Structure 1
Amino acid sequence: MKRLGLLILSMTVIYAVGLDALNHNPDNIFYANPWMGEIRLRANKGAVSEAFVLYTGKRTKMNLIFQDDTYDYFTADVGRFDTTFNYQILVRDKNDSLILPTVGAFKSSQPYFSVPEWALGKIYYSILIDGFYNGKKENDPKNVVAWGKAPDKEYSYGGDIAGIIEKLPYLDTLNFDILLLLPIFQANSNHKYNPRDYTALDPNLGDTIELKTLINEVHKLKKRIIFKFIATHTGSDFQPFLDVIKNGSSSKYFNWYLVKSLPVKLSPPNYECWLNDPRFPKLNLKEPSVQAFLIGYIDYWLRFGFDGVYIGEDSKIEPDFIRMLRNTLKKKYPDILILGSSDILGANGFDGTMNKKITDLIINYFVKNAISTSEFDYELRKALFFYPSQANLVNTIGLSELGKRIAAMTDISNLLLIYAFLFTFCGSPMLTYGDEIGIAVGHPLNMGSFPWNFSNQERTLFEEIKRLINIRKTNPIFSTKYFFPLYVNDINRVYAYDRGGIIVILNGGVTPNFVTLPVWNGTYTNLITGEKNIVANQQLKVSVPAKSFKIIKREI
């Protein structure tokens, strides 16, 4: 291995090794992740045969975790560290070795990106309150429709906070960890995505006493509760926006919005708006007074006892606003969870986001058959690798969005396979109310009303989801970052992976398949059937029926 030179660009150290290169930057969370205890090295493909991290008299092997067309990526777990941690990286090829850096040692001085320990790999249940359960008829909106009416428009069904409280025993049977309340502020809609008043809970949903009761009752069940706060836009009847319409550039709120011309027009809108819908004028999150206003009211609602907040709803959110939000809230509430609809994550970003990349992969592979098993595997590993590991564990993965129900896209056998993957994969799986019983109807900004009659529910799906949740929660390894692909078969659409001693085999094909997997010797138990299999030759042989799965655990 020839040492041809050292090039330093900013804080990045690049060693040219022959025609190859090595790259490690201790101040970039991709290469050094103190909270997760990870050290990474990027090398030109084939340049390095092995690598080690050297520190405090120890040597930890770096494993080849990911490859693309150009680079090999090596990773070592050295345990959580801080700015006092010094280390070097030893790299080898077939002929020589090299220690990085050539002088001294690496030390990371980047901001510490920590997330709440209680939020790692947890299961969410999200509720659009209007459609869940009507527990209090006297607060129904005037235009309420019959419960069960198909959601072909933005109807109001009359669901409320009292209804959630009444149905907590049902929710508790699902055994989820975190309840996510979708928008709760006063708005002239069923969905509340067009807030009119951030100071008030929508009266059709209940009052603050009921909200506080719900939060307390959820905590009694040893669960957490967070709320969605719409920060990227307001309703068109929000008083500051009405003032802009009336007074134009003379309005003291003119800089709050992204107005393209005057006078302000609603149809067609001459201002930026969410979903290109004039009802949702976008806020200018670069404006300091807007930042202060929003952060102040997020803080106000957190005082009711919420464990976290989801900031929505646009996919692009001003980085300075996110940084100020995080710095303000984390100082006051160190253990608060801050999720967002933007993927700006880290010490100056959100703790996590809705991982739509994974959702899209699930749909493209299991539902549309648009990608091969090897493409699915590669894109999964890529999506995991290029996010910080702690964010991967906090990122939520949902299957239904506003107006799109996963049950409307596929049949029950495929749904069971999809949920087997969702609840055994990395991250935080999320159910939208009704997913667990196979609700298939939906309309943009209306997810329909929950059918409480068993005859209108897919009970097979419900029981299977309960079983998968129980398997996940009784095996904490599922809430960790460990994920190792074992078997990829494009022809038969079979995929198997190891979650740290628990092996998941998914057969997405239309025929039964017999697979042989490389494993440690020992006794393996099927977590669905209880069947045991003793392995003595480091090969686990399993038959998997069509459109089905197996979850097998090695007994220690």
Structure 2
Amino acid sequence: MQAALLYHQPESEYAYLYAEDCLHLRLRVGKGQVAQVKVYYQEVFKTLEGTDYYSQTMTLWEQDRDFDYYQVAIANPPKRFEYYFVIEDLAGQTYLYNEVDLYPLAGPPSQADLRANKDGFKLPYLHWSDHYQAPDWAKDTVWYQIFPDRFKRSGKIPNRHHLQDWERDSRPDHDAFYGGDLKGIIQQLDYLQDLGITGLYLCPIFDSSSNHKYNTHDYFKIDPDFGTKEDLKELVTQAHQRGIKVILDAVFNHIGSQAPIWQDVIAKGKKSDYYDWFHINQLPVDKLRRLDDETMNYETFAFVPAMPKWKTTQPQARDYLLKVTQYWIQECDIDGWRLDVANEIDHGFWRAFHQACLALKPDFYIVGEVWHRSQPWLQGDQFHAVMNYPLQEIIEGLFMGLESNRSQWLDQLGRLRMTYRQSCSEAQFNLLDSHDTMRLFNKCGQNLALMQASLAFLFLQVGSPCIYYGTEIAMAGGDDPDCRRPMPWDFTDSDRQMQAFIQALISLRHSYNSLINQGHHHESLTSKGSLKLEIDQGPERLLAYFNLRDEALSLEEQSQSEPVFCQGYQAGTLTSYGFVVFAELNQ
């Protein structure tokens, strides 16, 4: 056994309270090098009194190319928690692993051996308030993302722009307006409820000159293109009556260059009350200028002149944005914020933001836009979740990538599950497309069966799944701005067939949400080219097969149960990109 491959860290995703009365411990070891792992634990001061250690055998929970990950759940753990790992390798040699080193033993440790060792891992005191906690409702939610200008035009909002014709397959350019609004969303809440949607994520709705509204002018005003504050209040109220939560998009990394605050800086320079609210390297700032190879006269989002970057470490700027944060919670009872370009804002601001939100609404949900692994933001004091683009990449690789790379994508899936605490993974915001990406239908080469299989796999993963508006009718669209076409409401027969599929998929998720989120997942590739997924929790089990090839295949194993959900499955055979899900009882 290679000692250098061992890893454990207290107060991390390797040792955390999953619930107030349940502690999770994990240990990473070299792949295929260990026969068994046990954890020995006790209350720190009881060990000094000679009390025996408890022990539990750990479960091989996850694997990737290089490592095996063992996990155990300890019910009602002592508050002052000391523990050791006892590892048996494949040759039968036993080792004691503590916070200092790995020691060979002649056999299983005696209680005297454990008490004599003073270097156990320690969790000095288990304060539930110190640990990651996400609102329970967020773990049960199926999300629906809306780009407001393109979802539904109510016909009740005065037009400020020339509006494009609302036509199926219309191809928008970056500056096009279509006239979707908040009243239009309200008109379609029954439609969303019928689909099974329990959460709405709205792209920005605050005052701005663009159709996307990511260049905010006034954070305290609903953009007139979309309606009024009263319209938002009605939307949230009506959604809540239907059991649907609502989260809004906050753009606190940058402001729109036409905002009065920034215009004051342009006009007054250092005499402006807002000069210190931004990253200004040299005046004037009437337009973006390059000072050298790396420096501009003012900082922006992605070198976009129209989006000057907030200095969120500046006390007055921070207070202003935190007032915005609380204003919309107090005024409209929103349920969460999605945070744009969240990884480019200082952690101190997000900690203050987290406290400001939860002070008003303890079950508030905070999700950041971070496209990479995100442990620093998911420790329990900043975000509850991020938009899970790493999972999106893995699913795309499995279903749309080269067959020869699929085992590598499964390795990455296992590694991703071990990146976060289980409680954190359950609250992740999982998606396959958005306003920033090519639409899923296009990613799948407009192959409907492949699209449906990808969605089914997403809905069987830990975390809260989200569909982008129009996915339920297999809307086409390339990269931005083509992924933002107007939603057609003159549904065709094929649209209704896809809607029925999405309804059934969402129903499956609602029926088995606890099993999917809390169960033990295991994926494997079969010799015939299918992907096998097993999810176990106690007596319950889900078993799914996905045909990853563009040809029919017969399953190598047969379930004794009837399918609870399938597409392209009959009598043990899956059609091209077909899949089947069985619910079973463990023997």
TM (normalized to structure 1)? 0.87
Tell me the residue number matched to 1:144.
Answer: 163
Alpha-carbon distance in structure 2 between the residues aligned to 1:531 and 1:431: 22
Partner of 2:85: 89
* 1:367 CA drift (Å): 2.6
Does 1:397 pair with 2:402? no
Query: How far apart are 1:373 and its partner, in Å?
Result: 2.1
Q: Quick check: 164-173 or 43-52, which moved more?
A: 43-52
Partner of residue 469 from structure 2, selected from 430, 433, 458 = 433
Residue 7 of structure 1: aligned partner = none
Unpaired runs of 5+ in structure 2? 43-52, 100-116, 291-295
Q: In the alignment, what sits opposite 1:361?
A: 394
* CA deviation vs aligned residue, 1:439-483 (integer Å, no higher than 9, x gap): 113563571211000139633322211111111111233541434
Q: How far apart are the structure 2 equivalents of 1:525 and 1:61?
A: 34
* Deviation, structure 1 residue 364: 2.8
Is the Cα–Cα contact under 8 Å of residues 397 and 427 in structure 1 kept in the other structure?
yes
Structure 2 matches for 1:27-42, cutoff 5 A?
27-35=11-19, 37-42=23-28
User: What corresponds to 1:238 in structure 2?
Assistant: 259
Name the aligned partner's letter for residue 453 of structure 2. L
CA distance, structure 1, for counterparts of residue 283 and residue 528 of structure 2: 60
Match of 2:491 among 448, 454, 460: 454
Mapped to 2, the partners of 1:154 and 1:138 lie a distance apart of 19
In the TM superposition, what whole-angstrom CA distance separates every residue of 1:245-273 from its partner, at most 9, and x where no partner exists? 22333333223222343221435573332
User: What is the RMSD computed on CA atoms of the aligned residues?
Assistant: 2.9
1:377-402 superposed Cα distances (whole Å, 9 cap, x missing partner): 11111111112222211111222222
Report what 2:578 is aligned to.
548
Distance 1:339 1:82, change over 3 A: farther
Query: 1:108: how far off?
Result: 5.0
Q: Deviations over 1:124-143 (max 9, x none)?
A: 00111111111143333232
Residues 66 and 527 (structure 1), Cα distance of their counterparts in 2 relative to 1, 3 Å cut: closer
Of 123, 139, 153, 1:120 maps to 139
8 Å CA contact retained: 1:394, 1:427? yes
Write out per-residue CA displacement over residues 416-441 of structure 1, whole angstroms, 9 at most, x where no aligned residue. Answer: 11111111122111111111111113
* 3-state SS, counterpart of residue 225 of structure 1: strand
Which residue, out of 176, 179, 183, partners 1:158? 179
Asked if the contact 2:2–2:30 (Cα under 8 Å) also holds between the matched residues in 1, the reply is no
Helix, strand or coil for the counterpart of 1:59? strand
Range that drifts further, 281-290 or 100-109: 100-109
Q: Is the 8 A contact 1:186 1:196 kept in 2?
A: yes
Instruction: Point out the more displaced range, 546-555 or 327-336.
Output: 327-336
Q: Is this contact kept in 2: 1:228–1:309, CA < 8 A?
A: yes
Which AA in structure 1 matches 2:11?
A: D
Question: Matches of residues 299-338 of structure 1 in structure 2 within 5 Å?
Answer: 299-303=326-330, 304-338=332-366
CA contact (8 A) 2:215 2:256 kept: yes
Distance 1:116 1:80 in 2: 22
Which residue identity does 2:160 align to in structure 1?
A: P
CA displacement at 1:220 relative to structure 2 = 0.9
**Identical aligned residues as a percent:** 25
The DSSP-based 3-state class of the residue aligned with 2:489 is: coil
Structure 2 counterparts to residues 129-528 of structure 1, below 5 A: 129-148=148-167, 149-267=170-288, 270=296, 271-303=298-330, 304-342=332-370, 343=374, 344-369=377-402, 372-402=405-435, 404-409=438-443, 410=445, 411-441=447-477, 444=480, 447-455=484-492, 458-489=495-526, 492-500=528-536, 501-516=541-556, 523-528=560-565
Q: Contact between 2:157 and 2:227, CA under 8 Å: does it hold in 1?
A: no
C-alpha deviation, 1:513, in angstroms: 2.5
- SS of 1:335's equivalent in the other structure is coil
- Which 5+ residue runs of structure 1 have no aligned equivalent? 1-16, 534-540
**1:305 CA displacement:** 0.9
Q: Is the 8 A contact 1:34 1:80 kept in 2?
A: no
Q: Distance in 2 between matches of 1:255 and 1:214?
A: 37
CA displacement 1:464-503 (0-9 Å, x = unmatched): 11111111111233541434325314x7542111122001
2:74 maps to amino acid? V
Alignment TM-score, normalising by the size of structure 2: 0.83
Name the structure 2 match of 1:536: none
For residues 48 and 458 of structure 1, what CA distance do their matches in structure 2 show?
Answer: 52
